[in-house]
Structure 1
């Protein structure tokens, strides 16, 4: 989640200035830039990007020193991360529909337990179907726990957190014995003079039967799963499917860490009126509707085109699938549907049938099972600042991997606002000759003006300090939301972690570090596909360099050869000039909280 107002109208809160001084860890002697013979273990009590002390738990990192400033290799760095994990069959989920069907498959095959936590879960055909699948499994005897964040749905209009606006759907799950939580309700956030009032649960976790799990950047909403052929501007994102007891344990620990994080997780209780407006048929029906649609035979191209634009065909097909869904729902819910139930499912069906590519997509997902690889994987986690004390196991792990890189680092992240630590680590990697590719948003594709203001101030500095770096920015209709990395074509990171202040300072985050050349190859292929896809519209920002690759400076600053001025409108440039001055200069240089983002050498 970035800081600042989003283009979708969802407000983010600004960072509060703390009244307390972060505790510092003891300094350690820096290691050689050329690397040592052994990589020090990543830190248990090292400083996170926020400068606060991290605390160990079962998923903590071993050692007493901050992340190493050099490593023998990424393999050594990977081994130094003492986090839950082990052997796991892993598969990247770069396609939105594959990622959606993976979730449906995990839910459908769950036998004993399902845990799900998402920053965003919206009331659309995908959100209702997801929650409906969880309700159906709870009614079948599977133990279900679900958590949704409050800040992501600030005014309660889009999701399931608010009474009279969606909470009754969570209450339906609770009425059947499941557990549901709203994380850190906005009105229950006391101002303590620290980050706690801002803290959100930014995790994205689905884990079943202590065996299989999914994490990554996607929330539960149609923006994240729909095909761009059906929804212009559908977001580009990345998840990973992990089948292994150790990784499932790590995801479960991350889920439970936020339940135990002070009093941030507010349990949803049964409606004191008995949930007189029953939602069981609506929820299970939405799931059965989606299940039938994804498993139906795929349509030919001509029929898909007609379905997207022909109201009569949409109505006919919607009515057909509502009947199928109600028939299946009757096997689970023992009551007759009311007129409001039928009206609700018809509304959902009319919205769903416009997603022509979603129909028949389950078969394609199953056919792609060959993309699964045997790997070693670890789950890295950090808790939010809700209780005033954070466990931060992600920043030290990421820094250790960067410090261990020998050949290449490829980073995809929607919000690039580098801290001093990460900037320095990338600079040292560049000095070792490591090629660095950073793939992110431009003002044309972002949903966060504020993070772009920082990035537009910093991109030239990144290229100056890292001579081996390339920066690619998206300019297309699709919002770029992937939070992934490949290091030395061997280790991959797929996470919820943004390179911004809220991920570094405030929110809970989770991710997977996977050691597998095959998975790294798959992720690199996805990166290359992204760069070549016209829907993303990637272009490269560059600066002038001399024959040795060193940045050419004019008045002490790099000379851009292609940048925002070459592809943005004058109006947008003028708008961002004001934002850059406010956030990238005035706030960064004058508010102590932003000191970690200052890059004066």
Structure 2
């Protein structure tokens, strides 16, 4: 039975009092338990710089103009979906190697591992041949081994800034977070945008960060993701957004926060490749971040080794000719949050600001027939549930693919989703949860260049975690971006997405997603007020009445945190 907006009842209304009290006193309790953290530097020099104005004489700019002329279209932007991990890596490498003037990278996370090292080598080589490289990185993950990525800031012709930095040490990620809990607002609000632009002519955006598990190379868990290559006017729009963040007071040059000597002091020592804490083989040789991103002897500038790494499989070393991709020229709109969304006073200053997620909900509210949602972290919240109720009341079909408890790399996010699962099903929304253990033959977006296999044929792993953020509306509107459909993306993180109006590319995205739903995900149903997980077709698995494939520890975590944890912090 469908539930109208008027009759929708919150699935968590039975225990609001305790949770509201915890939400109110949670930050206060953390502050009482921890001392004050260090402060950020003042009067920081941030030289203003902007994207390349004229790219008509660059190879990439000329190629885009030629493709547009050949297409004979009045649309000023072209698109190509990136549904495989191999293409995601090789397309970025191709753009780095082809760039002649500028490279702009904006990411939530860049991990220091062997796969990333090859890309960082290419960035240094681009800088050496005169390409201006700007890297804007959220500061949350720049600790421990990952802090060594910051050595790029000291490479000539490479500029690196950290957005919304945490005023604490970087030797340990956990210690860094704990020491920052006295400023919960700063800790919670993160720059989640993912943008990669070459010569202000071709860009890549979507769900992927930079790291081995985003490119199918991890021996542990690999992320299933979707990016989109964008050319022409929309790439320039992405560059304009990059500039707004780059020149914002929240963007601090790395040199204003630490020195090359500071990075050297916390450089991890080489260690044997032992098993990790989970008993599985380590997903990388821990020596690589030291040897491939290192300080050159007798010079104060940390440089990436110019010696080519031999740890990258040949399939990722092959160059991909982007001109061979099928480009779709279509009307498009950039959806992006303002940098002020994550300022310290964002709640009061920007209370009326529409966010990327708000815009997406407005689009979905206008759907006539069908909505297909892919969101790894799916925590609707009350306002979003009202929107879904209104959509379903009009008879629109809504399907959601998200992570299962077992496949979710952030189990706490699953806690928030689980609260709404029965209410979502009662509205008539179809729920699919990704299997963590994928069969090699699954045909979906993932690692195989031609077959889009869900498991990693490169890294040899069969463990999968959904990370794509995609919405298809009425088989004609496609949204690909960095946003999740959760309260964190809606209220706290900054996000970016591309809205493309074209049936062909919308259907292409659907053709990547639907097989994963049918063959690689559990269909969740409500049978006599009890949840049942229907096993994927041909999987050989049995239906389940409890969270499938999840350990007893994860199930216990779900029960303990379920009634208590504030949704906006999940």
Query: Which TM bucket (shorter chain)?
Result: 0.5 to 0.7
Give the Cα separation in 1 of the matches to 2:355 and 2:303: 48
The answer to whether the aligner puts 1:475 opposite 2:436 as a matched pair is yes
- 2:229 aligned residue: 241
Q: CA deviation at 1:273?
A: 9.0
Give the Cα separation in 2 of the matches to 1:491 and 1:571: 35
Structure 2 CA distance for partners of 1:16 and 1:521, relative to 1, 3 Å: farther
Spell out, residue by residue over 1:108-156, the C-alpha distance to the aligned partner (whole angstroms, 9 max, x if none). 2223221101111122233223233233223322222111222123xx2
- 1:516 aligned residue: 502
User: Given the alignment, which residue of 109, 121, 135 partners 2:110?
Assistant: 121
Q: CA deviation at 1:214?
A: 0.6
Structure 2: give runs of 5+ residues left out of the alignment: 1-21, 29-74, 169-178, 265-290, 438-462, 535-542
User: Given the alignment, which residue of 88, 106, 127 partners 2:77?
Assistant: 88
Q: Mapping of 1:139-538 within 5 angstroms?
A: 139-153=128-142, 156-160=143-147, 165-172=148-155, 176-187=156-167, 195-226=185-216, 231=219, 233-245=221-233, 247-262=234-249, 264-269=250-255, 349-352=309-312, 355-360=313-318, 362-363=319-320, 366=322, 369-370=325-326, 372-382=327-337, 383=339, 384-389=341-346, 390=350, 392-465=354-427, 467-476=428-437, 477-531=463-517, 537-538=520-521
Q: CA deviation at 1:369?
A: 0.7
Structure 1: give runs of 5+ residues left out of the alignment: 1-13, 21-85, 279-321, 326-334, 545-551, 553-557
Give the Cα separation in 2 of the matches to 1:108 and 1:270: 30
Q: CA deviation at 1:219?
A: 0.7
1:182 aligned counterpart, secondary structure: strand
- 1:303 aligned residue: none
1:586 aligned counterpart, secondary structure: coil
1:458 aligned counterpart, secondary structure: helix
Give the Cα separation in 1 of the matches to 2:329 and 2:106: 26
2:166–2:186 CA contact under 8 A, matched in 1: no
Give the Cα separation in 2 of the matches to 1:351 and 1:17: 49
1:187 aligned counterpart, secondary structure: coil
Give the Cα separation in 2 of the matches to 1:439 and 1:475: 13
Spell out, residue by residue over 1:396-429, the C-alpha distance to the aligned partner (whole angstroms, 9 max, x if none). 3111111111111001111110022221212211
Give the Cα separation in 2 of the matches to 1:431 and 1:123: 48
1:90–1:242 CA contact under 8 A, matched in 2: yes
2:205 aligned counterpart, secondary structure: strand
Give the Cα separation in 1 of the matches to 2:252 and 2:324: 39
Structure 2 CA distance for partners of 1:486 and 1:525, relative to 1, 3 Å: same
1:482 aligned counterpart, secondary structure: coil
Structure 2 CA distance for partners of 1:351 and 1:342, relative to 1, 3 Å: farther
2:223 aligned counterpart, secondary structure: coil
Give the Cα separation in 1 of the matches to 2:557 and 2:128: 54
Give the Cα separation in 2 of the matches to 1:19 and 1:448: 21
Give the Cα separation in 2 of the matches to 1:337 and 1:196: 38
**Which of 382-391 and 419-428 deviates more?**
382-391
Spell out, residue by residue over 1:148-190, the C-alpha distance to the aligned partner (whole angstroms, 9 max, x if none). 222123xx22324xxxx44333211xxx233211222222698
Q: CA deviation at 1:345?
A: 6.6
Structure 2 CA distance for partners of 1:221 and 1:561, relative to 1, 3 Å: closer
Spell out, residue by residue over 1:463-503, the C-alpha distance to the aligned partner (whole angstroms, 9 max, x if none). 112x2534343332111101111001001111111122321
2:329 aligned counterpart, secondary structure: strand
Give the Cα separation in 2 of the matches to 1:209 and 1:424: 43
Give the Cα separation in 1 of the matches to 2:549 and 2:259: 58
1:196–1:388 CA contact under 8 A, matched in 2: no
1:216–1:240 CA contact under 8 A, matched in 2: yes
1:236–1:481 CA contact under 8 A, matched in 2: yes
Q: CA deviation at 1:517?
A: 0.6
Give the Cα separation in 2 of the matches to 1:19 and 1:560: 34
1:180–1:267 CA contact under 8 A, matched in 2: yes
Structure 2 CA distance for partners of 1:497 and 1:17, relative to 1, 3 Å: farther
2:207–2:227 CA contact under 8 A, matched in 1: yes
2:404–2:547 CA contact under 8 A, matched in 1: no
Structure 2 CA distance for partners of 1:561 and 1:144, relative to 1, 3 Å: closer
